[in-house]
Structure 1
């Protein structure tokens, strides 16, 4: 058999119709139908039965995954006889290797006319993933599951040959081989619950960093497995600590007024007035703004007014004596802002009073 050559002898149907009057040597209108599958590539071959000379051309498959058809025009070159064999090889992906199915027909070409020919290709792609059942000439080892076929990007650990390469998970994924989960743990590669390969260490304990030793693991840290007990600085408890540098901060802790999320619920200073909001000091009656006392963890009214010093004037001379009271408002009747009265029972005795001759 002579080697196949690729020349512009294969035309789309429209081009063939346009050239109908200028093809005195004759042509073939070839319809290729495929049922049960759709090939990505169809290799169309024309062979001169007299000389054995062949020409070929790749054509992209058209239609749905359940089937379709394509129509091309075949123009036998000068020098060929009237008997031409047309062949269609259907491939799953590229026109290479073994075809899924092949159809052929011998056609007698009438000079000056277009002779119709139809090749019907049958194959089964049950799950419509683009790959034909391996029992029907294709490469799909599970034609009832669309996620299983050659070319799958990831072989899952599920005791199934997902990529249809003929290798078991035991071989391809190295199941049963030794692995290291952490510097202190050795185990074997096994299938995890989600289809991933895990390093199974039966005696391993998963722990999280607990730098502040409050019994709560750092929720932003990566867990570590230990086989010989959990060391200091780690905990096997829940990783729910939002600040692993403060032992007083963890879920369940009492919320304090300190601008910290003490109980790790995403809020600060819960149960306390908002810092910066207006307040009145109960002792001095002065206005101020709430602020957090980071020492006691309580909210305090931080004064924005300066209190006045008041003293009681019992003799009504405008000057008071005794202990002073600090307040932004008068503590009550009889209080004045001037002090220094050395005898608050005598209205004639006070700073600046006129001196009398009374012993």
Structure 2
């Protein structure tokens, strides 16, 4: 069955009526005698009202919007709008980033006319941040003056992980007072090594212990090249190091680093060379004979012998290696002890040879002595002490001359013997020389012969205390 046009028209009118009825039931126009609360313009309907400061109003009609700024920046009463700033934390200071223009003081939001707040966020403690607020020890700018924690001790501190009192410059921290693990002193060049920090003592380790960019300064020593291995180095061949390098020594006094026999400890052997590095050639006393023969004890080049024979001062040769002799000892560094009424000889031997031809080269002999177990006279009547100089080819025997032509110079007990023997001068100085092909340029040994008297018992003993023995 078809539908007529009349029926369709009646149905459409019915639907329209229902729709209008429903719309009228849902919409309520704003009252004209008051304000409706709102949050934006859409909530104020289609009657030309707008939302201003939380209420619906009219920009130019009734009810008039008192705070809304009209187009052009003017107010409804013709006045000039005021710039306000949001003050969300309600501390009396506004947020520069949230300005608003109003013709009247808003009631729906908290505003102020200044923009001086540096923290307006209530959730971030904004009420504690405003101009003039008291500074807190928190590393923040509480009073909005561009600084933080002013008025407190401290400032920039540095992480001190190795607890040596100096911090890592790369780990600073702003603190209003010292904190555990942080120090005020920076510049620790090894933040994890407690032995390394500015001012630390330098150690011999090829490292910069005091953070001054230098290693081992102040602990290095100067070492000198010792090419010949004699323990003395060359002054002009040096090296700085805190550990002794191989082939180097601390002493720089060597004058000949190519010959180990020439050094400050050597003897001058009269060879035209400065053997002992004393800036002289063949100088005394070494070349002419040592000034102190007693010091030869350290080289083992001295001793004594009991010949077990009686020479009456006329010994046929040098006595150190006398066949059948018995060794005697030095009971102290300068005391020669012996026994038996026989000829005894103390000997002092050169490590090389001595040249005794030099001018004014005299042998000084000074000693005292004690004897026990013998009668009077205690010594054999021949002239003594006898001094013997020995070389490889022969010897020379020096015998005291007669005192006034009648008595020999005998060293009686308790009497000090002090003689000076001029070498190579015949009978000068009260000595008689008897030589057997002695080479005075190469003297090997000095021997001193004494002989107790055989008038007493065979148990005689003596001590000779040398006070001076050497060339001068």
Q: Give TM-score scaled by structure 2 length.
A: 0.24
Report the structure, 1 or 2, having the larger strand content: 1
Report the structure, 1 or 2, having the larger helix content: 2
Q: Give TM-score scaled by structure 1 length.
A: 0.30
